[in-house]
Every structure is written in C-alpha cells, then in structure tokens.
A and B are shown apart, each in its own frame.
Chain A
Amino acid sequence: MATVELKDVKKVYAGGVEAVKGISIAIPDKALCVLVGPSGCGKSTLLRMIAGLETITSGTCSFDGRVINEVGPAERDIAMVFQNYALYPHMSVYDNMAYGLKNRGTPKDEIDRRVKEAAKILSIEPFLDRRPRQLSGGQRQRVAMGRAIVRKPQVFLFDEPLSNLDAKLRGQMRIEIKKLQLSLGVTSVYVTHDQVEAMTLGDILVVMNEGRAEQVDTPNAIYKKPASVFVAGFIGSPAMNLVAVKSLGAKGLELAGGLTIRPRGLPTPQAGIDLLLGMRPEHLTAVDERNADFSIDVSVVEALGADTLAHGRIVGAEGKAEIIARLAGGTTVAPGDRIHLALMPGMAHLFDAATGLRTPTD
C-alpha cells in the first residue's frame, strides 16, 4: 500500500534517444493507473523505471514520499507481471510462486500458506505441481499474477499482461484483474496499448505519445474532454471523427468546399482560425434532412448487431472529411445511401489545427 509519485522523470538512452521526456504523475494509494499509448511511446520504459529495471536519467520516483531512484528492483517491494509471463520454465507452478519469497528468506510454512492462498484466489490449485509449459495461456497468466500476489507488495506493475491472450480470455482476465486489484487494494501501474483495457481498468489514465504524457485524468474526463487531437484519436473506438474547418465566428464552422455547419451548444470560437472539429461516432444521430448538420454518402456499413457503423464522406466537403457514424443496431443503411446526420448538442470538440491542443468549448 503506497502512493507512487513521479516527478519530471526522464529517460535518455546511451545512444542519445530520449524515450521518456519528463513525466509527472501522482498515483494515490490503492489506485490503478493505466499508461496507454501506441508502441514506442515510452510507456514500457516508464514502467520499467518504476520497477527499477531501468535507471532514471533525471527526475525522481518515490513510493510514499521516499525517493527510490537508487533502490534495486528487489528492494522496492514491487511485483511485476510480464507480457510473456516470464515464468521459470524448469520450476513447478508452486516453485515459481515461492521463488521470490524464498529469496527473501520467508519461513517455509509462511511461503506455503501464502502460495496456497494465492492459488485459491486465482483458482490454480490443481496446477501447483505442473510446469508452466503444461498450462494454457490463461493459466500461465494466472500463475504470473499469483507470483505477484504472494509477495504482498506495495505496488503491482503490469506490462501488457493480456496481450498474448485471445479476445475472449482477455475480456475475462481484465475483469479479474480489476476485481483482484480492488480486493487487494494494492496501488498498481498497468501498461497497455489497448484503449478498452485502459478505459475499463484505470482509475487514472495517462495517455502517452512520443515520450510525453498528453493527458493525465480519469478515463471519463479524458473521453469527455480529450486534451489534444492525439488523445481524441486514441481514446474511443471507433476513433473520433476529425474534420478540418475554419472558424467563421458566429456564423459557424466552414469546411473546405464551402459547406458551413453550426454545432449546437458550441460557444462562438474566434473567427478566422484553422480548427479541427471532433465528433465521436456515437454522438452522431441519423435525422431527417431539415434537422441535419450535414449529410454523408455511405461507402461501407459494418453491422455489429448492437449498433451499426456507417462510413462515408461529408457531402459537399473537400479534403479530409471522412466520417464514421455509430447508428442504432438494426438501422437499414446500404453503401451508396445518403444519410443525414446531426451532432448531439454540446458534443462537439474543437482543436487548434496548428498545435493540436483542445480549444475550450465551454
């Protein structure tokens, strides 16, 4: 149980590559912080610095206010779950879980108690005598979790733990990890590139891009108010629609090609600047022509059952004007149709086209 605080943490590799360019995060006790971003954004490097597997070039990492920059991984009182599980192939499941405790000099009966307890929580009791290679991917994942639990660490670190599992199992394990983390109440840092995992697991979400934290907030706040075009495009599936527009002040927003739209509930932006208008697919509704903000010519339809995704281009717009609309399931749309869409009031996002940063909309 600990708070984790990063202050302006940087990582520069020997070759001069700046993998992490100054990140500050404060994770409260018992919270789960998700580091999310595309591959190469520095999220794993950051996690490994918290683990003590990478040195911190500058800045500080502290647990409960104690700076642990110079403390080795074994002494940091952390436990880590690796992407490829990293189980010791020659040891039984039991020994895999017990190894860390043994190295710490924990008494034998205490080790036994803790391993059995963890095995019970994770329902891997029948496999304690088996070798990792005799287990399925999901079972190995559980053992890796078990190895972390038995240590009763101050901080859990997860490095893309679910990326080797199939979609169904990933969904199950995601819930289990969340449950486990809640019941054990251990401060956790979780790295993933999967935005669904990020949204569902995180108490705090850190969206990373090119070694920087683009936004640090709760998943909901990030979804509602993405701080930049990058975050807007990364969080949410399908991704937010982004259309290049020019502000006409009170007259609305002009798309390339001369079409003007005036989203409801949007304060008047300063006239004459280039903006990106962001609209989430789920905030577009099919309406009749009179009430529409714009129309699209549908090119592809993805019927997902619960909802139907219509892809198309805004009619009368030039340049980047591809739109995905998430319509109610059962909506009958076919490629070639023209549908009229309205943006829900107050759901427009505006970003400065030059800086990519959010322009306040309220």
Chain B
Amino acid sequence: MAEHAPSSGHDRLMIGQSAIGIYIAHAMLILGVIVIAFPIYYTFVASTHSLQTILRPPLPMVPGPEFFNNYYEALFGGVGRIGGVAVSTLLFNTTIVALGIAIGKILISIISAYAIVFFRFPFRMVFFWLIFITLMLPVEVRILPTYKVMVDLGLIDTYAGLIVPLIASATATLLFRQFFLTIPGELVEAARVDGAGPFRFFKDILLPLSATNIAALFVILFIYGWTQYLWPLLVTNDNQMNTIVIALRKMVSFADADTEWHLVMVTAVLAILPPILVVVLMQRWFVRGLVDSEK
C-alpha cells in the first residue's frame, strides 16, 4: 500500500513540527500585529492629548490627560471645520447608511436569488445574466448617470440617496444563489408535501438555513457601507448629512495650523470602533458562515 492514513491529527499540520518553525511563525505574526496595531494605538494616544501637545513634537507614547475633554468636545460640541457638526451626528448618519446598505443588499439579493433558483418563469436566465452583468458596473463606473438620477429624484442630501444606489448587489445575489443550489431538491419537495407554500418555505426553511451566510455577509457589507467614500462625497452637500469618513477627510486642512488634530484623532478612533464592534460581536457567526453550512 502506497498511502497511509495519518496516524494523528498533528501529521496533517504544515507547521508546528519544529520549535524554530513555531518561533518564526510567531515572530511574523507579532510583526504583523505591530505594523497594523501600532498606528491605531498612536492615533488613540494622540486623541487623548491637547492640540498644543500634538503640534509640539515629539508626541508622547502614552495616553495624555485630555481624553474626556477631547471626546466630549468632538461627540457633542461640534467640529468647526465641518460646519460645527458633532461627531455623534456623523456616527448616527454613518450607522444608518451602513445598516441600510447591508440590510438592503441582503434583502434584495436573497429575494432575487430565491426567485432565480426556486422558480421557473419566462426569461429566468435573462434576468440571471442581467444581474450577473451588473457585476461589471460598480458605482464608480455608473457614477455620473446615477448622480443625475439622484438629482432628478431630489435625493441629494438624503439617506435614501446615500443608500439606494449602493444596494443592488450582484455579488451577494450570486453568493445566495450558490448556497441555494446546494440545498437538496428533496428538502424542497418535503416542504411542499408538508404544505409549505413559497412564502412559508422561504421563511421557515430557507431563511434559517441561510442564517450563517446572512451573518457573514452582514459583517462584510456593514464594513463596506461604513467605509464608502466616493458616493457619499458626491451625494452630500450639507455637512449635517456627511458620513464619518467624508467628515474626517474634510476636517484635515492642508495648513497644519488650521487642523484640530486632537479632534481628527478622536474622530478617527470613533470611526474605527463600530466596524470592530460588529466583527467582534458577530465573529462566531461570521466564521461559521464562511466555513460550514448546516445541511
């Protein structure tokens, strides 16, 4: 016999055979963490010092005494360079937009995938390909016509204007389609025999089975929505409607002295927090959605 089953699980691991391997692997990981985490830490440190301290290098490596002042001023006082809008407003706007995009995309794509996979209707494949082709048309490509439509509909400076054009999602539709295709035909038939109509089947069988997929997609799409830059930049004129990423950009002036760096740093920290929160809270579901499907 040429092949042997591995005697234990360890045999299958690529690393972990030698101590040197483990050290090298950990050194690389630690280096990676430092490269990613240090700037974030430094941002946080900067957000706890006064503007004067920040402008007078070197910047201390440990947090300063201005934490509460800075965060209070940013969250509730309003930032001068963006028309005195408070960061709390920005956070609220961005949350609405990110949630709107994530939930909207999931809703639209799960419903259209459901139609395409489980129903036979005329031009089914035409619709499928239409959705597929829109993959080639991201916002950046269709930005001018979309902007014109938004202007005509009077949706500039509205949440709808920020959310709706970003909702159509071929990627998510395809993802759900692939998942639905793996659901055995017998399960569909069992549900039919059990008297579940299309709506019941969707609600009782398909949605619960897709839960982990939905969770994983939600995390990805929430972050996608949170970090949108180009579209919110175009479709908002009113400072009150800015998202946090746009505001952050606007807060930074080219002349150093005009920029309230301590508030910029606070805003940056606050901009990072919600996506982290979403990932941490949904981590378990997220991983399950990516690696296994409960079938």
A residues sitting closer than 8 Å to B (CB atoms) are: 48, 51, 53, 72-74, 78-80, 82-91, 99-100, 103-104, 133, 147
| Complex: A90 Cα to B288 Cα, angstroms | 14
Decide if B190 touches A80 in the complex (CB within 8 Å): yes
- Find out whether the CB atom of B186 lies under 8 angstroms from the CB atom of A86: yes
Interface string of B188-211 (1 = CB under 8 A from A): 011111111000100011001101
B187 interface residue per 8 A CB criterion: yes
A53 touches B189 (CB 8 A): yes
The closest CB in chain B to the CB of A157 belongs to B193
Partner of A103, one of B187, B200, B209, B295: B200
Instruction: Tell me, in angstroms, the Cα distance from A48 to B186 when the chains sit together.
Output: 11
- Smallest beta-carbon distance A286→chain B, Å: 41
Given known contacts A80-B189, A86-B184, A99-B204, is B209 in contact with A74 (CB within 8 Å)? no
Q: A84-B184, A86-B186, A88-B187 are in contact. Are A74 and B193 (CB under 8 A)?
A: yes
Residue from the list A84, A100, A133 in contact with B194, Cβ < 8 A:
A100
* Most chain A Cβ neighbours within 10 Å, of B194, B200, B205: B194
Contacts of B196 in A (CB 8 A): 74, 99, 103
Name the A residues within 8 Å of B209 (CB-CB).
Answer: 89-90
Can you name 16 A-B residue pairings with CB atoms under 8 Å?
A51-B193, A53-B192, A53-B193, A73-B189, A74-B195, A80-B189, A80-B190, A85-B186, A86-B187, A90-B205, A90-B208, A91-B208, A99-B204, A100-B194, A103-B200, A133-B294
Closest residue of chain A to B205 (Cβ to Cβ) is: A88
Q: How far is the CB of B196 from chain A (nearest CB, A)?
A: 6
Name the one of A82, A88, A89 contacting B189, with C-beta atoms under 8 angstroms. Answer: A82
Is A80 within 8 A of B193, CB to CB? yes
CB distance from A94 to the nearest CB of B (A): 14
Q: Contacts A74-B195, A89-B295, A103-B200 known; A82 to B190 CB distance under 8 Å?
A: yes
Smallest CB gap from A78: residue in B: B193
Structural contact, B194 and A74, CB atoms closer than 8 A:
yes
Point out the residues of chain B lying under 8 angstroms from A147, CB to CB.
190, 194
Measured in the bound complex, the distance between the Cα atoms of B186 and A51 in whole Å is: 13
Tally chain B residues at the interface, Cβ within 8 Å. 19
> Which of B191, B192, B195, B294 sits near A89, CB closer than 8 Å?
B294
User: Given the known A-B contacts A88-B205, A90-B209, are A104 and B187 also in contact in the complex, defined by CB atoms under 8 Å?
Assistant: no
Task: State in angstroms the CA–CA spacing of A133 and B186 once bound together.
Answer: 16
Give the complex CA separation of A335 and B209 in angstroms. Answer: 58
B186 touches A103 (CB 8 A): no
Interface SS of chain B: helix
The answer to whether B294 and A100 have CB atoms under 8 Å apart is no
Name the residue on B nearest A159 (C-beta).
B186
Closest to B210 in A: A90
Residues of A within 8 A of B189 (CB): 48, 51, 53, 73, 80, 82, 86
Interface residues of B (CB under 8 A from A): 184, 186-187, 189-196, 200, 204-205, 208-209, 211, 294-295
In whole angstroms, what is the CA distance A73 to B192 when docked?
A: 6
Contacts of B186 in A (CB 8 A): 82-86
For A86, list chain B residues within 8 Å (CB): 184, 186-187, 189-190
Docked CA distance A94–B191 (Å) = 15
Residues of B within 8 A of A78 (CB): 193
Most A CB atoms within 10 A — which of B186, B195, B200? B195
Q: Which residues of B contact A80 (CB under 8 A)?
A: 189-190, 193
Chain A positions within 8 Å of B193 at CB level: 51, 53, 73-74, 78-80, 100
Give the docked Cα–Cα distance between A103 and B197 (Å). Answer: 9
Q: CA of A264 to CA of B189 in the docked complex: distance in angstroms? A: 54
Top 6 A-B residue pairs of the complex, sorted by shortest distance between their CB atoms: A74-B195, A100-B194, A86-B186, A86-B190, A103-B195, A90-B208
> Nearest Cβ distance between residue B229 and chain A, in whole angstroms?
39
Q: How far is the CA of A80 from the CA of B195 in the complex (A)?
A: 12
Q: Which residues of A lie under 8 Å from residue B190 when comparing CB positions?
A: 80, 82, 86-88, 147
Q: How far is the CB of A52 from chain B (nearest CB, A)?
A: 8
Q: Which residues of A contact B192 (CB under 8 A)?
A: 53, 72-74
Closest-CB distance, A81 to chain B (whole angstroms): 9
Look across to chain B and name the residue whose beta carbon is closest to the beta carbon of A53: B189
Q: What residues of chain B lie closer than 8 Å to A72, measured between beta carbons?
A: 192
* Beyond known contacts A79-B193, A88-B191, A103-B195: 7 more, CB 8 A cutoff: A51-B193, A53-B189, A74-B192, A74-B193, A88-B190, A89-B294, A100-B194
Shortest beta-carbon distance, B184 to chain A, in Å?
A: 6
CB of B180 to closest CB in A, whole Å = 14
A103 adjacent to B194 (CB under 8 Å):
yes
Shortest A161–chain B CB gap in Å is 11
- Residues B195 and A100 in contact, CB atoms below 8 Å apart: yes
Q: Which residues of A contact B194 (CB under 8 A)?
A: 74, 99-100, 103, 147
Nearest CB in chain A: distance from B89 CB, A: 41
Q: Closest CB-CB distance, A80 to chain B, in whole Å?
A: 5
> Closest chain B residue to A54 by CB distance?
B189
Partner of B294, one of A79, A85, A90: A90
Q: CA A99 – CA B204 in complex, angstroms?
A: 9
Question: How far, in whole Å, are A104 and B295 apart by their CA atoms in the complex?
Answer: 25
- Most-contacted residue by chain B among A78, A83, A100 (CB, 10 A): A100
In this complex, what residue of B is CB-closest to A148?
B193
Select from chain A the residue with minimum beta-carbon distance to B192. A73
Measured between alpha carbons, how far is A104 from B196 in the docked complex, in Å? 9
**Complexed CA–CA distance, A78 and B204 (Å):** 21
A78 CA to B196 CA, complexed, in Å: 14
In the assembly, what is the distance between CA of A90 and CA of B200, in Å? 15
